[in-house]
Structure 1
């Protein structure tokens, strides 16, 4: 492919010597001049002209005899050649190389990038092909704005990564979001002793990992010990586990320090997925790029161009209906507002990215899907750090000026009011009144202990986070508070030292139907700011309430403790929930099994096409 790109460069050099109107017109030129333009010898110039003619880009007629000039006809515009080769590279699966070729020349031909984006958008959706023995292969092709290099269950940070982990791995048990109960998965049966501390799990026999080996109890022990011992941001899930022992090849005994009514739900979290000991040890850090699990799909390719998943034929839970999923890394498409006009209507999934989208006539019959994410965006205040935010009065005042409803009205998009943990909760209501009298304002500064210090707000460089951070910065500036925005990638922002140094953090909380467990994650996950922004007294109070919640036998009792925890967080003014996102999507009428989960994602194992 490098040779083809090199030919593009050589063709552009040759064309650059002719006026624009010469395209398609024969031009007299000597071989020596061609060699000069190509910076090569006469022999290499001849070879290059033959290669370009073979591509159909030009016609070369060498002069015969003394005084007869050669004739060269450039048939295609250089921009068309670049676009054509970029498409060819895409078809070979090299998305990154294709994008680099377009980037190299888009300044010279501004329309090139738009044409490329419109063409790329037509490549997504369902593709049906016939392979060996005329077998049908259903491929769902999607795009995302960055590669999926990190798919190790114990290290994933983003919801997009977590969603894919669910398709590659299994846990001991699964949580049904509809019935809100736990169900068998890798373990078909379990029991607990009278103390509530010793749990025994019986594993399915014959379950295969993607690399061909059968699952054993040793893999379960290894997976949990790995989560406990490695520097994972999700170690909070194993905090109550004392020991994990393989009683025999298919029986695992887990002993807890104290009884925990949320333990079974914790085992269903994607971070608790079971991995093969031999393969994980062999791959080391490379396991995150080419992971192996027992899930319904297996990874066959994962690089800067695309992630490719194939249905795992012997999956114990039943083979998926789709044969293949390709997720192309195309950074420019999600932000391209003109993309919708170029969508190929043969694609079967069309995300609606803003409320401004209007259905065209051929979309009327498409099925509209939509729901509000349970997850929510929030800004946290670091009350554990020396500075003005340690003062409760300042946090209370700051929470009062950051009105979530005003933010939603100003920024619009898919932002909607937060409904977290089954309640609107008192923490969603904050005063918006601020005295405009300057003398009163000076008195207020004195009371809240703010002396004009610059506060650092950390967040991701994603578009919604940028908009939120800039809105907070402007709101604070209008009220006399100096905010500096610092952008960091997820891996950097998940570091405790960074979170502890930040004064404010704009982040999102993972919330689903496992409401009590989601609250526990919000308070204890090492990658989130809350656990780093509470002072020691607050942490002790959190530990006590969450311990009581884990001991509560009924859901009603646990809900009461959850409500008390939310009330305390509101009293402390540790964070302000800003909004939840509404996710909307159009699905082709022939596409079935499509539904959105609490994170706004589609379960690919249920998708099938009626043809």
Structure 2
């Protein structure tokens, strides 16, 4: 019930100002009441500073995910008065619509990056039918100067742990469990995901939620019929547009008219928005600690309160409270897996496909590492000295 975190004594913000425990306490108290981070800190009773270099958390009930929660993006600890200031290896030097420039933080407390600065030039290549850049998914990333791009070769590939998913709105009640299973059976047996008009190698149909968490194969009696009409709501990335069109044709072949609605935001906006659809299509990115990420997703995403019936929503909250109090990680993982197996077995949630991330770079660029989210970590990247003409 009591967690203590001890701070390094020479931490500095990106502007050179000394970082203090009092500043972090101020930021953490604000995070405790912010709607995005509050679900992650709901077990925290008080946060205090018993010593200048010690942050102390007193909990209402045990929460063995606490350290993972503090490492999540909604709990990002920035300067309490200057939210663009952090204390990481790179500081934000410029943030313009066409370019973002990062520079090495000279006071960083761990090993410094090898590179002095990084520039991201934003030059979107829009689909011919769209002016919305928010839907582009950065599955293929190329690093280097414009004149070097012809020399770029893949330097790292990885399959995303996260996936695009289909969720059924149980609360809306248009699809029964058997009908939901029938819908997923049609998707699984039609080969729909393997034949999407998407660049080869970009997506991989999902067979597991995580390694060892198999997606069930649904087998439904032939006399189960789909409703005559369903509504689907989806948001970026753009690959999901191909899924909606293929799904619309598949359901039409089985006597069901699918109305498709698009929302350009990257997160569900409200339970009222979710209530308008029978089916929801989106993606869920998973970080370096996959089980902790999936537990957090159940807590934070409005999806669950929007699609689960009230009694099932309350059951989910009790289940999560029970899981978080298990001291042994494998016991927490096992119980979380069992709950997700129930969701997939009832056809409430089904992962559809993973991404195949790829970073390409010219031969002179070394040490670029992909993160679990499909972005890249430049802390170990380096360049050889330039050649003399």
Once the two structures are superposed, the pairs formed by residues 39-58 of structure 1 within 5 Å of their partners are none
Q: Are 1:202 and 2:6 matched, yes or no?
A: yes
TM-score by length of structure 1 reads 0.56
Classify 1:607/1:578 alpha carbon distance in 2 versus 1 (closer, same or farther; 3 Å). same
Residue number in structure 1 paired with 2:248: 473
Displacement after TM superposition at 1:589 (Å): 3.1
TM-score by length of structure 2 reads 0.85
Write out per-residue CA displacement over residues 28-81 of structure 1, whole angstroms, 9 at most, x where no aligned residue.
Answer: xxxxxxxxxxxxxxxxxxxxxxxxxxxxxxxxxxxxxxxxxxxxxxxxxxxxxx
Displacement after TM superposition at 1:228 (Å): 2.7
Asked if the contact 2:193–2:243 (Cα under 8 Å) also holds between the matched residues in 1, the reply is: no
CA distance in structure 2 between the aligned counterparts of 1:248 and 1:573, rounded to whole angstroms:
50
Q: Are 1:548 and 2:305 matched, yes or no?
A: no
**SS at 1:242 equivalent:** strand
CA distance in structure 2 between the aligned counterparts of 1:297 and 1:312, rounded to whole angstroms:
5
Indicate the structure (1 or 2) with the bigger Cα radius of gyration.
1
Asked if the contact 1:546–1:561 (Cα under 8 Å) also holds between the matched residues in 2, the reply is: no
Q: Are 1:220 and 2:24 matched, yes or no?
A: yes
**SS at 2:93 equivalent:** strand
**SS at 2:337 equivalent:** helix
CA distance in structure 1 between the aligned counterparts of 2:357 and 2:55, rounded to whole angstroms:
40
Residue number in structure 2 paired with 1:373: 160
**SS at 1:607 equivalent:** coil
> In structure 1, which of residues 303, 327, 330 is the aligned counterpart of residue 96 of structure 2?
303
Once the two structures are superposed, the pairs formed by residues 398-547 of structure 1 within 5 Å of their partners are 398-403=183-188, 406-411=191-196, 412-413=198-199, 414-418=202-206, 419-425=208-214, 427-431=215-219, 435=222, 440=223, 444-445=224-225, 450=227, 452-453=228-229, 455-490=230-265, 493-527=268-302, 529-547=303-321
Unaligned runs of 5+ in 2: 129-141
Classify 1:309/1:394 alpha carbon distance in 2 versus 1 (closer, same or farther; 3 Å). same
Displacement after TM superposition at 1:220 (Å): 2.1
CA distance in structure 2 between the aligned counterparts of 1:536 and 1:509, rounded to whole angstroms:
23
Displacement after TM superposition at 1:324 (Å): 1.8
Classify 1:330/1:466 alpha carbon distance in 2 versus 1 (closer, same or farther; 3 Å). same
Once the two structures are superposed, the pairs formed by residues 155-166 of structure 1 within 5 Å of their partners are none
Higher normalized helix content (fraction of residues): 1
CA distance in structure 1 between the aligned counterparts of 2:42 and 2:66, rounded to whole angstroms:
10
CA distance in structure 1 between the aligned counterparts of 2:375 and 2:311, rounded to whole angstroms:
38
CA distance in structure 2 between the aligned counterparts of 1:334 and 1:489, rounded to whole angstroms:
15
Classify 1:384/1:562 alpha carbon distance in 2 versus 1 (closer, same or farther; 3 Å). same
Displacement after TM superposition at 1:581 (Å): 0.7
CA distance in structure 1 between the aligned counterparts of 2:366 and 2:126, rounded to whole angstroms:
26
Unaligned runs of 5+ in 1: 1-196, 281-290, 336-342, 351-359
Residue number in structure 1 paired with 2:46: 243
Classify 1:405/1:218 alpha carbon distance in 2 versus 1 (closer, same or farther; 3 Å). farther
Residue number in structure 2 paired with 1:576: 350
**SS at 1:374 equivalent:** strand
Asked if the contact 1:299–1:309 (Cα under 8 Å) also holds between the matched residues in 2, the reply is: yes
CA distance in structure 1 between the aligned counterparts of 2:304 and 2:143, rounded to whole angstroms:
44
Classify 1:405/1:198 alpha carbon distance in 2 versus 1 (closer, same or farther; 3 Å). farther
**SS at 2:322 equivalent:** helix
Q: Are 1:560 and 2:334 matched, yes or no?
A: yes
Write out per-residue CA displacement over residues 541-579 of structure 1, whole angstroms, 9 at most, x where no aligned residue.
Answer: 323332232122223322321221122112321122101
Residue number in structure 2 paired with 1:86: none
CA distance in structure 2 between the aligned counterparts of 1:208 and 1:576, rounded to whole angstroms:
44
Write out per-residue CA displacement over residues 352-376 of structure 1, whole angstroms, 9 at most, x where no aligned residue.
Answer: xxxxxxxx8x66xx45421100010
Asked if the contact 1:548–1:561 (Cα under 8 Å) also holds between the matched residues in 2, the reply is: no
Q: Are 1:231 and 2:16 matched, yes or no?
A: no
> In structure 1, which of residues 372, 376, 388 is the aligned counterpart of residue 174 of structure 2?
388
Q: Are 1:279 and 2:90 matched, yes or no?
A: no
Classify 1:457/1:249 alpha carbon distance in 2 versus 1 (closer, same or farther; 3 Å). same
**SS at 2:331 equivalent:** helix
Asked if the contact 1:219–1:274 (Cα under 8 Å) also holds between the matched residues in 2, the reply is: no
Residue number in structure 2 paired with 1:591: 365
CA distance in structure 1 between the aligned counterparts of 2:73 and 2:267, rounded to whole angstroms:
22
Classify 1:349/1:424 alpha carbon distance in 2 versus 1 (closer, same or farther; 3 Å). farther
Tell me which of the two structures has the higher relative contact order, counting C-alpha pairs closer than 8 angstroms and 6 or more residues apart: 2
Write out per-residue CA displacement over residues 124-152 of structure 1, whole angstroms, 9 at most, x where no aligned residue.
Answer: xxxxxxxxxxxxxxxxxxxxxxxxxxxxx
**SS at 1:310 equivalent:** strand
Asked if the contact 1:348–1:588 (Cα under 8 Å) also holds between the matched residues in 2, the reply is: no
Structure 1 stretch displaced more, 575-584 or 557-566:
557-566
